[in-house]
Amino acid sequence: MSIPHKTLHYVYDPLCGWCYGSAPLLAAAATLATVSIRLHPGGLWLGERRQRMGPALRDYVKPHDARIQAMTGQPFGEAYFNRLLLNEALMLDSAPPIRAILAAGALGADELALLQRIQSAHYRDGVWVGDLATLTRLATELGLEEGAFRHAYEQQALEPALRESQTWLRRLGGQGYPTLGLAWGDELQPIAVGAYLGDPAAFLARLQQD
């Protein structure tokens, strides 16, 4: 009996700590030949929800990040806590990294790979991922040509992608990020991400169930 091909729908935000905590699950899913991954960008830090860096933000996220690290093993670097989050000249803004990921997809590149590189740069390395120069460097690390990436980045319109993502969030009954659902044939099943955090093997087993 042939194994049905499935699509894993992933509603995410690149600057969501729990999405970073879920990264090992998505990396594991990407190894399955029978599963395709579709990314749907959310808007956690957009418009009026953007947050200025500084001690207040650090004090707010630090206990959440500690819990994420304890549950998932994902590393949060000292430069993230004690340099990036304290730089009040910067703004926590999801738009630039989302636009970069959409640009990678428009060029036929691996959106998930760039998302996870952006996440590790932000949370592990304490790098500001809100400017085009940094995002271009990360994209070229993955093999994208600089000029083509910059052009694609400037062409991306966020609103259509964000509207589509909100549709998927509703279809999957999600309350925020990350939200995951598995589709095949006429089936669409939400996946409770919290049940698998820190356990990619169990997540793979779930994806391969009939």
pLDDT in tens, 109-147: 999 999 999 999 999 999 999 999 999 999 999 999 999
pLDDT mean across residues, the chain:
96
CA-CA distance, 89 to 82, in Å (whole number)? 14
Alpha carbon distance 20, 76 (integer Å)? 10
DSSP code per residue over 69-121: HHHH-----HHHHHTGGG-TT-EE-SHHHHHHHHHHHHTT--HHHHHHHHHII
Q: What is the pLDDT of residue 1?
A: 47
* Burial call 56-91: b when 16+ CB within 10 Å, e when fewer: ebbeebeeebeebbeebebebbeebbeebbeeeeee
| % of the chain at pLDDT higher than 90 | 95
Question: pLDDT tens-digit profile of 49-77?
Answer: 999 999 999 999 999 999 999 999 999 99
What are the backbone dihedrals phi and psi of residue 199, each rounded to the nearest 5 degrees, phi first?
-135, 70
Give the global pTM: 0.95
Q: Would you list the domain boundaries of the chain?
A: 6-207
pLDDT digits (tens, 9 = 90+) for 7-38: 999 999 999 999 999 999 999 999 999 999 99
Query: DSSP state, 48?
Result: G
In what side-by-side order are the strands of the sheet with 6-12? 35-41, 6-12, 179-184, 187-191
pLDDT > 90? residue 209 = no
3-state secondary structure of 46: coil
Angle at 142 between CA 140 and CA 145, to 5 degrees: 35
Taking the C-alpha atoms of residue 130 and residue 80, their distance in angstroms, rounded to an integer, is 14
Residue pair 94/43 in contact by the 8 Å Cβ criterion? yes
Over 90: is that where the pLDDT of 103 sits?
yes
Topology of the domain comprising 6-207: Glutaredoxin (3.40.30)
pLDDT mean over 181-201: 95
Dist CA 137 CA 15 (whole Å): 18
Provide the phi-psi class of 173: left if phi over 0, else alpha when psi is between -120 and 50, else beta: left
